[in-house]
Amino acid sequence: MVCTWGTSAASPGGFIRQVRSERSRSVRVWGGTLLGVAGLFCFSAGAHAQAVAPATGTPTAEDIAKLRAEILKQQLEIEKEQQQLRLESIRLNDQQNLLNAELDKLRATGTGTVGATQPTAAAVAPVAAAAAASPAPETPGPTAAPISGPSPQQQEARRVLQTASELSSKGGVLTPQGYFVVDPSLEYDYWNENQVNIGGFTIVPGITFGNINVQRVQANYVTQAWTFRYGVTNRLELNLKIPIVYATGSTTTQPLGPNAQIFSPGANAFDIGDVQLGASYQVNSGDNGWPIFIGNVLFKTTTGSSPFSAPIYTTNDPNGLYIAGIQKQLPTGTGFYSLEPNVTMLIPTSPAVFFANILYGINFARGVEIANRSGAPPTPATIGPGNYISGTFGVGFAVNDRTSMTFSYQQEHVWPTTENGVALGGSSFDFGVFNFGVGFAVTRDISVNIGAGLGVGPNNPVARLLIEVPIRFQL
């Protein structure tokens, strides 16, 4: 028996209906075979009766031999039909396994609309054609093992969370196995801080003797970064981020006094930032209503320029009395290695996706040279920036099959900085950020994500804007 696939196999429904039709045809063949056997015995009984009717009622040896030969012939034909049915059943099972494997692959890569459980006609047609063209096996073989991959609900959660910039930078959005993602991004951060420095003493409230200096510090950072992600498995991802930083800033100082003048020295920078290496691993599958837990680790290098290597104004410079200590050049890095282990929790529901992240950052102390405000030689010291802990929670949802949105809040606490093992007073601080993100799927493999953040507290950027265009390739 030969299976032929018509034009109805050009769609997933047609392919499945064809498989069911072939199985129905097998049932009909079995039924016809049984009826044929019954007819054979009826025919043999009738022939036997006719053979013995004219005689004395006892069949001859020739009649018995003919009857046996006829029965043997029918048995051989039945065995042949049974063999063909067994081969046909094996072939149909193989075709079903091919279809199931293709469906699992398409679910893993997120083909089609979010939540879809059927592949497109173009994706299934090659599988159907290959199944139809393959010869029928002669002996039964092992069935294809199912390919595990993310469910449609998990695919939707990943697509939604791609719009959460605070998660994509720390981990939590995994790349499917065998895929490589190039993610160019452009980020703008604006800093603004007012400072009042008083060098003197107060006798009564409102009357101060000494120098009073009011400063306004502004900085604009534009970071163009290239992030590369690779899905080693459906649960393991490796990533690399290379930033290029352009920064401009100014410090406007307004001394108080009869001869006070406004000074506004500026600074800028254009250099590579701190390169980051990371990995993410999905701990569990999230079945039976359980949240999905993803462990992440991020290591930051010191490839950017350090704040301690930037030259500063000293008292020997013009107007150095008021601007001493202000940097002449902005840094593009922190100057310290850091390690950020963190855990992301996802709860995919319909239509919302709840997420949370807890992070603990470790800054490694190192020896630096602190510039002297008076122009004297720098002072060596071992500086250890304070470690920090951060918590983020939020919700995201898909507006339609191409657009998604996220809202979240991030709170962070930084412990005091140490100098030669001694904590510096006033160096501990807290801040928070409200984040908003929106994403649009241009194609199946290209998306545009836009994120915005509003800082809460004086130690955080006033505003942040991020644009990402992740492009996915299958290797």
pLDDT tens by residue, 17-63: 454 455 455 445 445 544 454 454 444 445 444 444 444 457 788 88
Instruction: Please report the pLDDT score of residue 145 as a whole number.
Output: 38
Mean pLDDT (whole number) for 408-432: 91
Confidence class for position 128, pLDDT limits 50, 70, 90: very low
pLDDT at 260 over 50: yes
Which residue did the predictor score with more confidence, 324 or 395?
395
Residue 361: its pLDDT value, please?
A: 95
What is the per-residue pLDDT for 49? 45
Single out the residue of 378, 380, 363, 454 nearest to residue 415, CA to CA. Answer: 363
- Mean pLDDT (whole number) for 241-254: 89
Average the pLDDT over each of 16-25, 86-95, 259-268, 463-472 and give the range with the smallest value.
16-25
Q: How many residues does the chain have?
A: 475
Q: Which region among 248-262, 379-393, 396-410, 414-428 has the lowest average model confidence (pLDDT)?
A: 248-262
What pLDDT score was predicted for residue 257? 60
Model confidence pLDDT, tens digit, residues 139-185? 444 444 344 455 665 666 666 766 776 676 666 678 888 999 999 99
pLDDT top residue among 389 and 88: 389
The tokens for 259 are 């001869």
Give the phi and the psi of residue 258 in degrees, each rounded to 5: -65, -30
Amino acid 213: pLDDT: 56
pLDDT of residue 54: 46
What's the mean pLDDT in 206-223? Answer: 67
Q: In what order do the strands lie in the sheet with 379-384?
A: 366-370, 379-384, 418-419, 422-423
- Asked whether the predicted pLDDT for residue 70 surpasses 50, the reply is yes
Q: What is the pLDDT of residue 106?
A: 67
pLDDT of 156 reads 64
**Between these two residues, 287 and 45, which has the higher pLDDT value?**
287
Question: Given the structure tokens 């855990």, which residue do they identify?
Answer: 343
pLDDT at 434: 92
Confidence band, pLDDT 50/70/90 cuts, at residue 99 = confident
- What tens digit of pLDDT does each residue of 425-465 get? 888 888 899 999 999 999 988 999 999 998 877 666 778 89
Is the pLDDT confidence value at 294 over 80? yes
Confidence of residue 317 (pLDDT cuts 50, 70, 90): confident
Place of tokens 């048995």: 75
What pLDDT does residue 48 have? 47
Please give the pLDDT value at position 168. Answer: 67
2 falls in which pLDDT band (50, 70, 90)?
Answer: very low
pLDDT 10s digits, 321-376: 778 888 899 999 999 999 999 999 988 887 788 999 999 999 999 999 999 988 89
In whole angstroms, what is the distance from residue 172 CA to residue 442 CA? 22
Q: Can you give the residue ranges of every domain in the chain?
A: 7-133, 152-474
**Homologous superfamily of the 152-474 domain (CATH):** monomeric porin ompg (2.40.160.40)
* Cis bond before residue 176 (omega within 30° of 0): no
Give the contacts of 158 (CB within 8 A, at least 6 positions apart): 110, 150, 173, 174
Residue 166: what pLDDT?
67
Which residues, other chains included, contact 107 with Cβ-Cβ below 8 Å and sequence gap of 6+?
A: 117, 149, 150, 151, 152, 155
Mean model confidence pLDDT for the chain? 76
Residue 377 is encoded by which pair of tokens? 């030689």
Q: 37: alpha, beta or left, given left = phi > 0 and alpha = psi -120 to 50?
A: alpha
Identify the bridge partners of residue 345 per DSSP, sorted by sequence position.
293, 356
Residue 111 has pLDDT above 70, yes or no: no
